[in-house]
Amino acid sequence: MKTYSIKQLNNISKQIRCDLIEMTYNTGYQGAHIAGSLSLVEILTALYFNILNFDPKNPDNENRDRFILSKGHGVMTQYAIFKQIGLITKEELLTYKKNNSLLSAHPCMNKDLGIEFSSGSLGQGLSLAVGCALALKHNKNLTSKVYVLLGDGECNEGSVWESAMSASHYNLDNLIVIIDRNFLQYDDKTENIIKLEPFKNKWESFGFITTCTDGHNIEELIKAFQTQHKQKPLCIIANTIKGKGISFMENEAKWHNGVLTKDLYGKTLIELGV
């Protein structure tokens, strides 16, 4: 797998943000889950370009790493990654949320695109990831890893913690959990809905090697992905900003799903330096 420099990865992240804005504007009055997608940009850039064993020319390779997007409403960012790695074209990217498009508002399982799991009902991805990690060990595949990305709001779900207990019980050191910790969910701050803190301590108490990192610093993210976790699953809590990169979207719950008018579209392009 080609290794990219931090400068190259930051440039890719900027391109992805531009694509996310264009995709959102292109949906018209439907709008899109833009703010929560913007918080994922550096996480998925670091993962797909420097960490994940995934070949776009052979996406169903049995020896691939598996990536599961439990936070399904952030799939716009994954689609933009697909454009960057050559799985889809720019024209296909702009079919997002259109009739007969493969690019729906939440991911639908598609092995040709490397989408391992249909998600949207939150709190389910970690369960599948545990099953995948167990199956890999059962099949004597000791090289492939399973990466699963959760939103912090979905950690309200009991299924997340049941799965976490299972991961620890089975010593799934081929499992890496990434949490987009942007402190916001659909309609309020996470700590106002159900308090998650002390978040790191909770994951550690469930048997995970746990590290916290800046979710917008690609160099730090890569180091976090490389954390040793022998005989234990790894949890990376990536502290992010919902709506990162667009001033009027940052830390604003109302942009969980939003519509870009022509004026706001122009403003976002100026802020991104386009």
pLDDT at 274: 82
pTM of the predicted protein model: 0.97
When pLDDT is averaged across residues 116-134 and rounded to a whole number, the result is 95
Asked whether 151 and 122 are in contact (CB, 8 A), the reply is yes
d(CA 135, CA 209): 21
Assess whether pLDDT exceeds 80 at residue 2.
Answer: no
Kindly report the CATH class assigned to 6-271: alpha beta
d(CA 196, CA 194): 6
Q: In whole angstroms, how far apart are CA 241 and each of 39, 40, 249? A: 6, 9, 10
d(CA 251, CA 50): 28
pLDDT at 259: 97
Tokens of 128: 């599948």
pLDDT at 239: 98
The model's confidence at residue 164, banded by pLDDT at 50, 70 and 90, is: very high
When pLDDT is averaged across residues 242-249 and rounded to a whole number, the result is 97
pLDDT at 120: 86
pLDDT at 1: 61
Of the candidates 177, 103, 191, the one whose C-alpha atom is nearest the C-alpha of residue 146 is 177
Which residues lie across from 147 on neighbouring strands?
67, 176
pLDDT at 168: 97
In our burial notation (b when 16+ CB lie closer than 10 A, e otherwise), range 128-144 reads bbbebbbebbeeeeeeb
The model's confidence at residue 3, banded by pLDDT at 50, 70 and 90, is: confident
The model's confidence at residue 47, banded by pLDDT at 50, 70 and 90, is: very high
When pLDDT is averaged across residues 157-182 and rounded to a whole number, the result is 98
Long-range contacts, 223-229 (Cβ 8 Å, 24+): 225/46, 225/47, 225/50, 225/51, 225/176, 229/173
The 10s digit of each residue's pLDDT in 128-149 is 999 999 999 999 999 999 999 9
Contacts of 9 (CB under 8 A, 6+ apart): 42, 45, 46, 49, 50, 218
d(CA 89, CA 120): 24
Residue 160 CA from chain centroid, whole number: 16
d(CA 234, CA 213): 13
The model's confidence at residue 157, banded by pLDDT at 50, 70 and 90, is: very high
pLDDT at 55: 96
pLDDT at 14: 97
Q: In whole angstroms, how far apart are CA 204 and each of 186, 199, 207, 224? A: 27, 9, 5, 15
pLDDT at 34: 98
The model's confidence at residue 187, banded by pLDDT at 50, 70 and 90, is: confident
**Percentage of the chain surpassing pLDDT 70?**
99
Which residues lie across from 69 on neighbouring strands?
149
Assess whether pLDDT exceeds 90 at residue 266.
Answer: yes
Tokens of 56: 């776009």
For the chain, give every domain's residue range. Answer: 6-271
Tokens of 134: 């167990």
Contacts of 194 (CB under 8 A, 6+ apart): 156
Higher pLDDT, 121 or 213: 213
Please provide the average confidence, as pLDDT, over all residues in the chain.
96
